[in-house]
Structure 1
Amino acid sequence: MESAELRELLTPEALALLDSLEPSTSTDDVVRLVGRLRRDGHPAGRVAAVLSQYRLRRRAAAKFGPFAERMLFTEGGLEQATRLRVAALHAGRFAAAGLEHVADLGCGIGGDAMAMAALDLRVTAVERDEVTAALAAYNLAPWPTARVVHGDLASIDLDGVDGIWLDPARREGARRLADPGDWAPRLDTALELARRRPAGIKLGPGMDRGLLPDSGEAQWVSVGGDVVELVLWSGRLARPGIGRAALVLGTDDSAHELTAEHDSDDAAVGALGEWVYEPDGAVIRARLIGLLAGRLGGRMLDPTIAYITADRLTPTPFARAFRVLERWPLDVRLLRRELAARDIGVLEIKKRGVDIDPAVLRPKLQLRGEHSAVLILTRAAGEKVALLAERADEPPRATSSG
């Protein structure tokens, strides 16, 4: 967002117009809305600014729920913003540690600061981009314990601050900054801050593990099966005895966590059992697959693949379970013949550890039929295999055509 658009947006007329628009998910509604606003005599600049926020608010509902209807966004700010549910967990950790004044360094549009202020924490939210800082100030206006400062780390006095939340800027325009030395602030600067004060540092979940500090807690978080972040916790914010954590948040508001002092050793490789488990991405990123395998009474399907196999079903929130119906060599002609014999027309294809594009494979299978199934393409003890399976919550069915 440019400064001119911000000035157009932050007028009483534009904000009142934005708040008056009824939410809609229909593209046709948006097209009609543009025409109506122009016919009503609104200036082109106001219409453009309002419609941009209207579209962003619709997208933001997935992260912020009903709060999105009173917030303002930028494209980049929304993309990097923490989901409100996850931000609430961050804020809860600061409150539980007894920290009262938190500096949110790199606050973006203010999502985490909102959650902290909602728990009556004092928050100094710092943002180096002037436009984004202005939007954060608007979003945080309902909370008197929060203030926004336009500046960077070097210009902020941290005296009186007893906890730090830091979300380094990892993008420059549309380009991702792969080198942590290019982030703002640099990763080494952030880690030095975390050594001096209790801190939480939000990073991308695919962070190079070789850059992780030896001390503190590394927590990977998934929401609805998608790994959304890695947070490094230090000082009073890090839980004793926990160096690795996988927090799995379900779409049903459930929350489950697998923790260990350090990376767990992989389980031994063994024969394919009746069940195959696909660990949640947070468990994989935290390298707690071996710990999970032990809890499931399972073994690794292959030493290089993150699939667990077991002889019995043990329900777990940390993995999806599949009942194995058939095991075949990974041969396209064989698969086409066997799937046709079982009248399978709807097929979910999962692959791990094999160089196959499911989108290319699917038309080759010539699927026709009334039944559905899951096809897992992977390796078992080094051999490429195709496993016909069904999800654990599906009713059992015949494994062959007779």
Structure 2
Amino acid sequence: MPHAPQDHIAPLLTTEGWELLASLGPYKEADAMAVNQELRKAGHPAELVAAVLTQSRLRTRAEAKFGEFARQMLFTQAGLEQATRLNVAARHAERFAKAGILHVADLGCGLGADSMAMASMDINVTAVEMDETTAACATINLMPFPHAKVLHSDATSVDLDGVDGVWLDPARRTTSTSGTKRIWDPEAFSPPLSFVEGLAATGRAVGVKMGPGMPHESVPAGCEAQWVSVGGDVTEVTLWFNAVARPGVRRAALVIGPQGAAEITSGEDFDGGPAAAVGPVEGFLYEPDGAVIRAGLVADVAGMLNGHLVDEHIAYICAPELRDTPFARAYRVLDVMPYNVKALKAWVKANGIGVLDIKKRGTAVTPEELRKQLLPGKPAGKAGKPKTATLVLTRIGEERVAVVVEPVSA
């Protein structure tokens, strides 16, 4: 696999390189040139300085996923993009631990995030990575964990004798000197989904992390599919087979936010489950979390809220009363207007709106373009802080509407 120049880590795998990297704390991007010149002036080779500065930047970016561990790890750009957040990796590991799995092969371990989580639970881990640079990073990252070892090998050819669990995070990007590009076909992943299904057929406990946009028709029969969102961003769908799949659960949405984690599950297949009623825009409008939408559980959440959909094909829920839920963002409905740009411009002007948040679903309107039309030139409103409003653009049957709402504090 070709690597971008910034992924060259060989200079860091020396005593001088590692010590220099450890001595360099976070720095502002605007200071990069000055730091570069300072290190060069101190006598460090240009190649080493470039590698250290790049790795320091990656470590800073990685703190969002790895917290304080990031400052002791090595990264590649593509590896960091696909790496599992540690708080999610801990949940993956917990599945194997609860199932009593003793030895997991992490096939396509990447930078080793999931292996780190499993090894920390005293599970023996064989981490396998085909890309040499990424395998070197994983070796460094897993050094503190005696229960883990790294193999530089093709994941599809590893001997699995004595292994009772398998975890996979297939490569879903191609890397070149110009950057990375996402792959969408599960059979083009490395390893492909058919290989995963073959492993599951052996009876082993198998979990595989897939991209959250995976269509329902591509989800194999006989597994549990769990979509995960972190801080409002849908990060993955994990397919669980055999001992790590929960009985009676076909699909699930796990929502992780500042208040903790919450999950909604269904035993029905993707074409089953309750049908939500359809009704008017009223009371409170709820915007379901992306994991709920991806898992096809919008109707289930509507039932929890004693609410209804505003259109059977659109994931907006309305309910007459406000109910606290981790599965949807709530807005108070203030007004409902037909979608008409001229009328909306008059509404913006009449109300002195200077900042406009526009949400949309089920309509081809581009919020950025509409915002330019409704707020031309300087913000409206009196001197001081401009007045803020939120518009939800959607469709009810064939009619396009604009709903004026205000967010309800969590």
Q: Which TM-score band (shorter chain)? A: over 0.9
Bigger drift between 361-370 and 84-93 goes to: 361-370
CA contact (8 A) 2:12 2:21 kept: no
1:372 positional shift? 1.3
> In the aligned structure 2, how far is the partner of 1:131 from the partner of 1:5?
8
- Distance in 2 between residues matched to 1:266 and 1:362, nearest whole Å: 35
Report the counterpart of residue 405 of structure 2 in structure 1: 389
1:86 aligned onto 2:88 = yes
Q: Distance in 2 between matches of 1:17 and 1:283?
A: 46
SS of the residue corresponding to residue 376 of structure 1 reads: strand
Once the 2 structures are TM-superposed, how far is the Cα of residue 340 of structure 1 from its aligned partner? 2.0
Q: 1: distance between equivalents of 2:366 and 2:275?
A: 28
Q: 2:313 aligned with 1:304, yes or no?
A: yes
- Match runs of 1:1-400 below 5 Å: 1=3, 5-24=8-27, 26-173=28-175, 174-196=180-202, 197-250=204-257, 252=258, 254-262=260-268, 263=270, 264-366=273-375, 367-369=379-381, 370-393=386-409
Distance 1:125 1:253, change over 3 A: farther
Identity rate of aligned residues, in percent?
53
SS in 1 for 2:364: coil
- Aligned equivalents of 1:393, 1:336: Cα separation in 2: 27
Could you say which residue in structure 2 is the equivalent of 1:397? none
* Stretches of 4+ aligned residues off by more than 4 angstroms: 1-4
Q: Is the 8 A contact 2:210 2:238 kept in 1?
A: yes
- Report if aligned partners of 1:325, 1:388 keep a CA contact under 8 Å in 2: yes
Shift of 1:221: 0.1
1-side partners of 2:133 and 2:254: how far apart? 33
SS where residue 78 of structure 1 aligns?
A: helix
**Deviation digits for residues 247-281 of structure 1 (CA, Å, limit 9, x no counterpart):** 0000x251000111024333021112111110000
Q: Is the 1:5–1:45 Cα contact (8 Å) retained in structure 2?
A: no
- Match for residue 398 of structure 1? none
Counterpart-to-counterpart distance in 1, 2:341 and 2:4? 53
Residues 32 and 338 from structure 1, CA distance in 2 versus in 1: closer, same or farther, beyond 3 angstroms?
Answer: same
State the number of aligned residues: 392
- C-alpha distance in structure 1 between counterparts of 2:326 and 2:397, whole Å: 26
The one-letter amino acid of 2:380's match is: R
1:185 partner amino acid: P
The Cα shift of 1:153 comes to: 2.7
Is the Cα contact below 8 Å between 1:269 and 1:300 reproduced in 2? yes
Contact map agreement 2:302 2:317 (CA 8 A) in 1 = yes
* CA deviation vs aligned residue, 1:202-230 (integer Å, no higher than 9, x gap): 00000122111121210000000000000
Task: Indicate conservation of the 8 Å contact 1:272/1:380, yes or no.
Answer: no
- Cα displacement string for residues 323-349 of structure 1 (whole angstroms, at most 9, x for unaligned residues): 110111101111111122222211110
Letter in 2 for 1:67: F
TM value normalised by structure 1: 0.95
Q: Which runs of 5+ in 1 are unaligned?
A: 395-402
Paired with 1:7 and 1:222, the residues of 2 have a C-alpha distance of: 35
Query: Which range is displaced more, 257-266 or 32-41?
Result: 257-266
Equivalent residues of 1:302, 1:382 under 8 A apart = no
Aligned mates of 1:213, 1:5 — CA distance in 2: 38
In structure 2, what residue type is equivalent to 1:186? P
CA–CA distance in structure 2, aligned partners of residues 175 and 275 of structure 1: 40
* SS, match of residue 374 in structure 1: strand
Question: CA deviation digits over 1:62-90, x for unaligned, max 9?
Answer: 11011000000101110110001100111
2:9 is paired with a residue whose SS is: helix
Structure 1 contact 113–146 (Cα < 8 Å) conserved: yes
Q: Contact 2:107–2:168 at 8 Å: present in 1 too?
A: yes
TM-score (norm 2): 0.93
Deviation at 1:172, TM superposition (A): 1.7
Letter paired with 1:122 = N
- d(CA) in 1 for partners of 2:35, 2:362: 48
Residue segments in structure 2 that go unaligned for 5+ positions in a row: none
Name the SS for the 1:108 alignment partner.
coil
Answer with 67-76 or 342-351: which moved more. Answer: 342-351
Q: Counterparts of 1:45 and 1:179 in 2: how far apart (Å)?
A: 37
